[in-house]
Amino acid sequence: MPPSWSRLVRFHAKGHGKRVFLGQPVDPNIDVGVAVHAGHTVKVYEISANSALDENARVTTNILDIAHLLTPLSLDDIPVVRALGLNYSDHADEAAHLAGRAKADLPDFPFYSTRCILLQDPSTSLIAGGEPIVLPNIVRPYEEHLPDYEVELAIVIGKTAKNVSEEDALDYVLGYTGANDVSFRKWQNSIPQWCFSKSFDKTNPLGPVLVSARTLSDPQTVSLKSIFNGQVVQNGSSRNQIFNVRRTVSFLSQSTTLPPGTVIMTGTPAGVGFVRKNKLWLKPGDEIRCELGGGIGTLVNTVVAEPPQKARL
């Protein structure tokens, strides 16, 4: 049974302390991330469920005000995060240019990594919009390690998927949300397995809104934009994915079980910082916004440094 909600947020409500609620924005057109960041009152209809994965979740008439946004799924509900790389032809080309090639050789199959949360609490990496991205001490100096932004459309699996066909793939999707797959380029290029460079604590914003697959029936129509300190640096569309959502879900499910709550980040369009002639990198004091269409809205995150500690390496 598809959920009754169309746009889901997870949050603390004003006047209710640290109790966690699910809700649907009263205003169907509001960008929740921008509004909350600006300090505006955001009203939501309470959803009668403790988890976005609850197929019996229902939107009520009880209205609450958001005090603090959380990731749209409980971190306990996310068994694994898969992250595709080079899934936009323009991004693949800009990476090829950096390597001295005129054009990228497009892959035959999705190239992906797994954020290392299979054997540990996923809360170590994932954060909500409004929370700071923490640059770890191991990526100093920043101009050498090049902490980088990547706006991405994220798929959330709603029911157990294995050996799914492309034709049926969207039937297994609960909804879509946004992500900033913050990457640390020196470590990424130094270690073939990207798990280490993409799993540092508090570096992966997720949210702000989970839009149901019923509401966003064509995931290849989503605009994606990154705004770095007020400057638009990425401006793309999911229609330019090399492997669309159907093919991605189908491929990743072959001989592999994708449990409910699995998050699949589907790659980023052109415009990342490390490929530019005048390179850009995240540093303390910066603000990065990842804006997605389709009702998902904008992740707004500032950047801070991890307090200095004695190295353990």
What are 90-122's pLDDT values in tens digits?
655 676 555 556 565 666 666 555 544 333 334
Torsion of CA 88, 193, 138, 301, to 10 degrees: 30
The order of strands in the sheet holding 297-305 is 133-135, 297-305, 287-292, 223-228, 231-237
pTM as predicted:
0.92
Q: Is the peptide bond before 141 cis (omega within 30 degrees of 0)?
A: yes
**What are the residues whose beta carbons fall under 8 Å from the beta carbon of 290, sequence distance 6 or more?**
149, 151, 152, 178, 179, 180, 205, 224, 225, 226, 298, 299
Per-residue tens of pLDDT for the chain, all 313 residues: 677 999 999 999 999 999 999 999 999 999 999 999 999 999 999 999 999 999 999 999 999 999 999 999 998 999 989 888 778 876 556 765 555 565 656 666 665 555 443 333 345 889 999 999 999 999 999 999 999 999 999 999 999 999 999 999 999 999 999 999 999 988 776 666 667 667 789 999 999 999 999 999 999 999 999 999 999 999 999 999 999 999 999 999 999 999 999 999 999 999 999 888 899 999 999 999 999 999 999 999 999 999 987 656 5
